[in-house]
Amino acid sequence: MNDQRLRLDLADLADEVTPVDLRDRALRTSRRIGIQRAVATSAAALVLLGAATGTAFAIMPNRGADPLPATTPSITASPSPSASPSPSVSTSPSVAPPASSTSSEPATDATFGRLFYGPFSLGGGDTAHLYSWTPGGTPARRLQLPAGPARLNALVSPDGRKVAWVEDNGSLWTAALDGSGKRKLHDLVDNMCWSPTWSPDSRQLTVRLGAEDGGYDRAGLLNVSSGAFTEVKGFQGCHPLWAADGTVAFADGGDGTVVVTDRTGTGRRTIPGLDVKGSRYHCNDVTSLSPDGRRIALFRIDRNGESGDAARDLLVNAVLDTRTGKQVTLPLGGRELRQVYFQADGSMVVRVRSGDRYTLLLVDEDGKKVAEKAEPSTLKNMQIIGTAD
């Protein structure tokens, strides 16, 4: 009786207990242990990585991070889930650049634009062709002009579409680069001291007009489309230059100073160091003005040397800061400086000579050489008369 009763009670108890799969429990326990070990390993790796990074920064020289080159993508490190958020840090790839790499130099978008050439001297015939050339390409022959204007006053518009020139009889003409659309704009225009200069928008020309009884006494702006002339009282000097911001510069033409003003002729000031009291130099020829009017390319003459004449001369032996008169250093590589033209982005096309070979340097706004191109021998006896994008 008692044995029977005991067996029945044990059976009832077995029905109330949930079966346990010991194999499944063992597998779950194994997975938890594996995850815990993986987390522990990752945490240890992060700690070691942080320690190594800290050590690397500790032994580096104390300097700012070098800017990345334009072709190098930035890599942003994400914060660790277990750490407090920190700012994203840009870093260069772990592979060190070669010793000759220029990755520490700022990237630049400066490129050579189109260059326009005219004859350097008056010899060689009664007429002369203008040429255009983009470094890396082939020079192209453009319209034919009388030799005098081609050498002394012809200028290409900033947009590279038209040429303006004044012939010996004082007639002012414009035409397309291929010679088409030739049109006379005005008579009695100064063709020596006051070369016609294009405004930055290629819509006006800065000219000086004469009278029937002789002399040139009115300077101002001539509208290329309508031919209308507007006198500007403050335009005094020779060989005016325009900057994109409206700054205008002149060689004085008399005392060797160079003056800077605005398009209305106001705010007139002189560039320090050019034929003022105690200065070493004077200047009668200016060539190019930077887009912001803060630098000018010109030809300085020692005040004890020759003064030159009123005719246009596009040779350059210095680039100056127009506010301080301080000379800008150029990367000439020991070669002779011949010409400098500012481009629309502020970069400079620098023409240098070594022996009988001419080379063009592309120099950015910071004075660093970006590129160098040998000039074709066919342009050796010519001079640059302008640039365009």
On the question of pLDDT at 23 being above 50, the answer is: no
Token pair belonging to 198: 């294009």
Is residue 239 domain-shared with residue 161, that is, in the same domain? yes
Q: Which one is predicted more confidently, 121 or 185?
A: 185
> CA torsion, points 219, 282, 299, 202, in degrees to nearest 10?
-20
The answer to whether residue 106 is domain-embedded is no
Structure tokens at 16: 């109330």
Is the same domain home to 48 and 125? no
- 102 occurs within a structural domain: no
Confidence band for 319, pLDDT divided at 50, 70 and 90: very high
pLDDT digits (tens, 9 = 90+) for 164-217: 999 999 999 999 999 999 999 999 999 999 889 999 999 999 999 998 877 888
Same domain, 318 and 365: yes
Q: Is residue 181 domain-resident?
A: yes
CB 304 within 8 A of CB 275: no
Instruction: Let me know whether 249 and 373 are in one domain.
Output: yes
The Cβ-side half-sphere exposure at 381, using a 13 Å CA radius, reads: 7
Q: Identify whether residues 77 and 119 lie together within a single domain.
A: no
Both tokens of residue 184? 């006379």
In a domain, 105, yes or no: no
Render pLDDT for 250-264 as a digit per residue (tens, 0 to 9).
997 678 899 999 999
Instruction: Specify whether 286 is located in the same domain as 151.
Output: yes
Strands 348-354 and 357-363: antiparallel
* Residue ranges making up the domain that contains 58: 2-91
pLDDT at 104: 39
**Percent of the chain whose predicted confidence (pLDDT) is above 90:** 62
Is 187 found in the same domain as 87? no
pLDDT of residue 87: 37
Give the pLDDT confidence score for residue 253 in this predicted structure: 66
Q: Are residues 378 and 343 in the same domain?
A: yes
**286: CATH:** 2.120.10.30
123-132, 251-260, 339-348 — most confident range: 339-348
